[in-house]
Structure formats: C-alpha cells, structure tokens
Chain A
Amino acid sequence: MNADDATLAARVVVSDDRAAFGELVRRHQSAVRRFLRSLTHGDTGLADDLAQDTFVQAYRGLARFRGEAAFSSWLLGIAYNHWRNARRRERAVPLEPAHLDALEPTPSAAPGSDLQQDLAAALGRLEPDEQTALHLCYQQGLSHGEAAAVLGRPVGTVKTHLARGKEKLRHLLASWNPQT
C-alpha cells in the first residue's frame, strides 16, 4: 500500500477502512512506541499499553486530523498528552532516574556500546522536558516547530529545553569528549 498518510487517514474517516488504519499503525508504531519508551524510561510494557491507547484515540479522533502537520507529529502529540494524562491520573509512570536500574533500557543504535549506555544513563538524569525535547528533535528528527506542537509549548521554550539538556549532557559526558 503506497498511499500517503493523509490519503489513508481520509479512507479511514470516509469508509472506516480498517486495512488503511492498520497500515498507518504499522508505519508509525515504531516511532510512537520508541517515544513512549523514552517518556517511561524504558518501561516497554507500559509504553506499549500507552501506544495502543494512543492509536485507538487517534482512530476515534481521526476526523480532526486536517493534514496541516505531518501525521507522525499529530500522533506523537496524542501520545505525549496521553502519557501526561496517565501520569496525572494514576501517578504510576516512573519519572525519577532512580527507576532506571530496574527497567529495560531503550535499545540503542549500537547495542553494547559504552558511549550509548552512558548517554542513555545521562539522558535519564535530565529533566523530563529536556529529555523529551532532545528525543523529539534528535532521535525522531522533528523541527523545533514540530516538537513545540507535539509538546504544546512555545518554540522558544523547546529551544531552551534543548540548550539546557545539551549543556547538561556535555557536562555529564565530559569524559567522552576530547575537546573538554
């Protein structure tokens, strides 16, 4: 199925095409699940539950997708709101770095790499907003504006989170940087 996301979404809205929605899920499941794993500090079970709820919520609200933003950004925005609501409602989502040791780490680009392990640990020591902004801009490849839309924050705030997060990482990973 080679149709673009907006075409598939229109098929779902117009004729409740479940195959088209299945294709959208297959295309975007990795990005959404990876984003939620980042938010839940690698709790894959919780992240997948939230991801499933995200897609169901997206299905229910698909008529509101007007195509102004990329479908992936729209989905990540739903995922972020869903995670935030779940955290507020149940207070069950681990947020503190202390939980890191007990949870499965998010797979890195190069499993077994010491740098990637240190980077994952350092990311866990950042404020959630900083960590989320870095994940969206550097690992999901979103622009500052797209990340701001996902998080529901001004672009300037996202840039501030990015700058602070990178500065902290630079400090935490100083031993890996020959320039320091």
Chain B
Amino acid sequence: MEPSNVKPDSRSDDPVEAWLRAGTDAPPLPDAGFSQRVLSALPPPSDRRRAASLRLALCLSGAVAGALIAGLGGLALDELPARLGAFGSALAEIPVRLATPASAFALALTAASLAYVYRRELGLRLPH
C-alpha cells in the first residue's frame, strides 16, 4: 500500500500532471498591504493575556478544588452537611494526608502535567 506522505511524482510522464505542476512556477502573490491589514485586525493584546490568565486561574482553581475534595475522602450528598461542619478540622488534616508518598506522587504528577500543558504561558513568567 502506498504511504500517505507520498508527493505526486514530479518525474511523471503524465502531461496533465505536468500542466498542473506548471502552476507552481508562478511567482508569489505580492503582499500589497495584506499583512498590515491582518495585523490591524488582530485583537488587542490585553484580551489575549487576560484570556490566558483566566484559563490558567480556572485550571488551577479546579485542580485545587479537586485536591481538596480528594483530601476530604470524597463527598456523598447525604453526608454533605456533616462534612461541611467538619470542614475546618478537615482542612487542618490536609497536610498530614498529603504527607503520604502516594499523595505526594499524585500532586507531583498533577503539577508536572499542568506545567507541561501550560509551559508556554508559564514561560511568560519565567526569566529566559
């Protein structure tokens, strides 16, 4: 079976292919201000940075919330009032629970995954 990265054979004797390929010799279209029009149409820089920051904040909030729920041992609806009442004391237990090797490994894995996914955004805040 022919691989998908094959380009049409430039040595082909097929005249139709030769006619079609003749178009590749055409000079590039002159820019004629096109690039400038595109740059003018781009969104303002602040929007892009704000969107990136918001995405990062949402993701980190979700990760923290997930870690808290996991630290509390999971929540069932009928247990929710009692759990909320004990929330303060549970918070104090979090460092102890997280001190286990499995928790530390899970947190490190999560942090590494987030750092990889957002490496470009984090690069904004790191010195080159």
A residues in contact (CB < 8 Å) with B: 10, 13-16, 18, 21-22, 25-26, 29-30, 33-34, 48, 51-52, 55-56, 59-60, 63, 107-110, 115-116, 119, 134, 137-146, 148, 155, 159, 162, 166, 169-170, 173, 176-177, 179
B residues in contact (CB < 8 Å) with A: 2-8, 14-17, 19-26, 28-29, 31, 34-35, 37-39, 41-43, 45, 48-49, 120-121, 123-124
Interface contact B4-A138, CB-CB below 8 Å: no
* A137, B14: Cα distance in complex, Å: 15
Residues of A within 8 Å of B7, CB to CB, are 137, 141-144
Residues of B within 8 Å of A142, CB to CB, are 7
* A13, B20: Cα distance in complex, Å: 37
Residues of B within 8 Å of A107, CB to CB, are 26, 29
Q: Residue on A with the closest CB to B122?
A: A14
Among A30, A51, A138, A159, the residue within 8 A (CB) of B23 is A138
* A142, B14: Cα distance in complex, Å: 18
Given A21-B42, A119-B19, A166-B16, A141-B24 contact (CB < 8 Å): yes
Interface contact A179-B15, CB-CB below 8 Å: yes
Given A10-B120, A25-B39, A109-B34 contact (CB < 8 Å): no
| Chain B binding surface, main DSSP class | helix
* A138, B17: Cα distance in complex, Å: 7
Q: Residue on B with the closest CB to A49?
A: B37
Given A34-B29, A138-B24, A176-B15, A143-B120 contact (CB < 8 Å): no
Interface contact A108-B6, CB-CB below 8 Å: no
Among A15, A55, A141, A146, the residue within 8 A (CB) of B38 is A55
Interface contact A138-B120, CB-CB below 8 Å: no
Among B31, B35, B124, the residue within 8 A (CB) of A15 is B124
Residues of A within 8 Å of B22, CB to CB, are 108-110, 116
* A166, B26: Cα distance in complex, Å: 21
Given contacts A137-B8, A176-B15, 16 further A-B contacts (CB under 8 A): A14-B121, A25-B39, A26-B31, A34-B29, A52-B34, A52-B37, A55-B38, A59-B42, A59-B43, A107-B29, A109-B24, A139-B20, A139-B24, A145-B3, A166-B17, A173-B19
Q: Residue on A with the closest CB to B14?
A: A166
Could you list some 9 contacts between A and B, CB below 8 A?
A14-B123, A16-B49, A25-B39, A29-B35, A52-B34, A139-B20, A143-B4, A145-B4, A145-B6
Q: Residue on B with the closest CB to A172?
A: B16
Among B5, B38, B49, B121, the residue within 8 A (CB) of A56 is B38
Q: Residue on A with the closest CB to B119?
A: A14
Interface contact A145-B24, CB-CB below 8 Å: no
Residues of B within 8 Å of A26, CB to CB, are 31, 35
Interface contact A108-B4, CB-CB below 8 Å: no
